[in-house]
Chain A
Amino acid sequence: MKKLEIIVRPEKFGEVVSALHGAGVMGMTVTDVRGQGRQRGVVHYYRGAEYRVDLVMKVKVEAVVPDALVEPVVEAVCAVARTGEVGDGKIFISEVLDAVRVRTGERGDLAL
């Protein structure tokens, strides 16, 4: 069981969700996030004063999937979220010890 933290451009979010559904992932947690990578920020102007905004808006999708689904999900997400420009995002993959479905008490992959 692995957790995927998928950080993508906000405008790609809809396609990423469709890709996850297509790969068989139905459950996810989604957050609006701001962060910093290699993508340059933008400059705001307020009454003549310039502010550089280094944090860039992104959407983070967290999904926990069975091991066998990791590669297909990664491929599917990259296929839709990639523009080739800096700022397409990241996917972090980590081990998950266990999962519990609160309603039934099921554990492990059964709880996903």
Chain B
Amino acid sequence: MVVLLAASPALAQETGKVDAGDTAWLLVSSALVMLMTPALGFFYGGMVGQKNVLATIMQSFFLLCLVSVQWVLWGYTLAFGPDAGGVIGRLDYLGFQGVGQEPGPAPSVPHLAFAIFQGMFAVITPALITGAFAERMKFSAFVLFSLLWATLVYDPLAHWVWGGGFLQKLGALDFAGGTVVHISSGVSALVAALVVGKRAGYPGRVSPPHSLPLTVLGAALLWFGWFGFNAGSAITSGGLSASAFVVTNAAAAMAALAWAFTEWLLRRKPTVLGASTGAVAGLVAITPASGYVAPLPALVIGAVAGVVCYLAVSVLKPCLGYDDSLDVFGVHGVGGTWGALATGLFASRAVNPAGADGLFYGNPAQLLPQLFGVAAAWVLALVGTYVILKIVAALTGLRVTAEEEALGLDIGQHGEAGYNFGPPIFAGGAGSPGSSVLSAGKEATLRFSSVEGEAPRPETTPGGWPQ
């Protein structure tokens, strides 16, 4: 995005005409990035206990809806409206007014396509944070927090880096959102984990991941969607998007290998959760660099991400004792910070003439705006998230009760169970001893042999269920 907005005056002068290929790729990319948010729900959902699987998936799914609406109403204009003092966008595009079919900020795609692509980034970023407070946050508090965070942290930061704000003017490179998406969500996750507090029983007595196949499915879909995230961020369809596509795949693969081999070396076994988390760490790290680096440096970025993020979640977190339940900080905060700095090391104008050279290509000065961008994102995320959480705590409270945490958020917050296996669990109604729909007025009691040993005999023998 930066590429086009900051540095393609040639294109802009040349046309203002919609390019079919660019538009097609950008719309496909938007759909790919959309898929990442439910994919994140699966990735996270597999890692929690089975009593919290729905609540965890719901947080991602709900944000897809909530932020999509917020983006149309006021999010887009705050991030990408005409610049006001380098800090925020003006309200010209409130309700998507003036966002039309003619090219917008990018010269060759409809303004609407650009806006919806950006909207998908705004959706996934607060969803990433939910891994930090999984298994204990009230749904009402989560909704309020996410809406405020999207408006007060994400939208301004997106403006600073991509919308013509001060970081963009400083020349900080962030091709696809290392700073805006990953540092912001990762650092906010750390704050959220500290403010919300540990899960009951952490660290010794919390449930291990209940379904790693679900997590691997989520990681694989995230990887798939990430091609839209990074290669789509070229906002053109051509050499640059192909380059971003290739380095994205290379870094993800390398990071998964690096994480798995590090575990193999240090813990004797390469784990499936490790390999899939490593892939995500590599995707995070390559994100800011994806439009500026060649494939070999991408392998280095991925390898370092795999090892460093592994150490962050398996050594740093236990040492410091915070309960960032699904390692949002360790993967996105640490991986995103590494990626932003690595962009200052490995960026090359041979890959992208609109970018800059990094340290290893003769321009150590590029590290400065990169550092500044990282610092700005850290500060905004730390302060913004802390203040928002305090406001939400005062309004709704942050955590469910201890009893509800023990029962699980699926039943407690949503009234559903993720898995209704085994014998039917419903009280039986007349004529249908397996289940009864109370709202249909068939309240009847069917007693199983009770744990108290004093209930009436079962009316239907176990195994004799009609279903």
A71 within 8 A of B: no
The 3 closest A-B pairs by CB, nearest first: A35-B451, A45-B415, A11-B406
- Complex contacts, A2 vs chain B, CB 8 Å: none
- B450 adjacent to A35 (CB under 8 Å): yes
Alpha-carbon distance between A55 and B416 when the two chains are bound, in angstroms: 14
Alpha-carbon distance between A33 and B423 when the two chains are bound, in angstroms: 11
- A37 adjacent to B450 (CB under 8 Å): yes
Query: CB-nearest residue of chain A relative to B204?
Result: A14
Alpha-carbon distance between A85 and B285 when the two chains are bound, in angstroms: 49
Query: CB-nearest residue of chain A relative to B426?
Result: A51
- A58 adjacent to B411 (CB under 8 Å): no
24 cross-chain CB contacts under 8 A: A11-B200, A33-B451, A35-B448, A35-B450, A36-B451, A36-B452, A36-B455, A37-B450, A37-B451, A37-B452, A38-B452, A41-B427, A42-B407, A44-B411, A49-B437, A51-B435, A51-B437, A51-B438, A52-B427, A52-B436, A58-B451, A85-B403, A89-B451, A92-B453
| Interface positions of A (Cβ within 8 A of B) | 7, 9-11, 14-15, 33-38, 41-46, 48-55, 58, 85, 89-90, 92
Q: Which of B201, B436, B447, B451 makes the CB contact (< 8 A) with A51? A: B436
Assuming the contacts A43-B415, A53-B427, A90-B452, asked whether A36 and B438 have C-beta atoms less than 8 A apart, the reply is no
Alpha-carbon distance between A82 and B425 when the two chains are bound, in angstroms: 25
- A50 adjacent to B437 (CB under 8 Å): yes
Query: CB-nearest residue of chain B relative to A42?
Result: B411
A-facing mask of B382-409, CB < 8 A → 1, else 0? Answer: 0000000000000000000001001100
Query: CB-nearest residue of chain A relative to B446?
Result: A54
- A55 adjacent to B425 (CB under 8 Å): yes
A104: min CB distance to chain B, Å? 33
Number of A-B residue pairs having CB atoms within 8 Å of each other in the complex? 73
B445 within 8 A of A: yes
- Complex contacts, A54 vs chain B, CB 8 Å: 426-427, 445
- Complex contacts, A89 vs chain B, CB 8 Å: 451
The B interface is mostly helix, strand or loop, or mixed, namely: loop
Assuming the contacts A43-B415, A50-B439, A92-B453, asked whether A55 and B448 have C-beta atoms less than 8 A apart, the reply is yes
A36: min CB distance to chain B, Å? 5
B417 within 8 A of A: yes
B266 within 8 A of A: no
B431 within 8 A of A: no
- Complex contacts, B443 vs chain A, CB 8 Å: 52
- Complex contacts, A14 vs chain B, CB 8 Å: 201, 204-205
- Complex contacts, B438 vs chain A, CB 8 Å: 43, 50-52
- Complex contacts, B417 vs chain A, CB 8 Å: 44
Alpha-carbon distance between A5 and B310 when the two chains are bound, in angstroms: 43
Number of B residues with CB within 8 Å of any CB on chain A: 32
- Complex contacts, B265 vs chain A, CB 8 Å: none
B466 within 8 A of A: no
B440 within 8 A of A: yes
B422 within 8 A of A: yes
A-facing mask of B412-429, CB < 8 A → 1, else 0? Answer: 001111000011011100
Alpha-carbon distance between A29 and B436 when the two chains are bound, in angstroms: 33
**Residue of B417, B425, B439, B451 contacting most chain A CB atoms (<10 Å):** B451
Q: Which of B416, B447, B448 makes the CB contact (< 8 A) with A44? A: B416
Q: Which of A10, A34, A37, A45 makes the CB contact (< 8 A) with B425? A: A34
A-facing mask of B450-464, CB < 8 A → 1, else 0? Answer: 111101000000000
Assuming the contacts A48-B439, A50-B438, A50-B439, asked whether A36 and B448 have C-beta atoms less than 8 A apart, the reply is yes
Query: CB-nearest residue of chain B relative to A60?
Result: B451
- A90 adjacent to B451 (CB under 8 Å): yes
- B406 adjacent to A44 (CB under 8 Å): no
- Complex contacts, B205 vs chain A, CB 8 Å: 14-15
- Complex contacts, B411 vs chain A, CB 8 Å: 42, 44
A18: min CB distance to chain B, Å? 10
Alpha-carbon distance between A85 and B407 when the two chains are bound, in angstroms: 14
- Complex contacts, A10 vs chain B, CB 8 Å: 406
**Residue of B406, B425, B437 contacting most chain A CB atoms (<10 Å):** B425
A10: min CB distance to chain B, Å? 8
B178: min CB distance to chain A, Å? 39
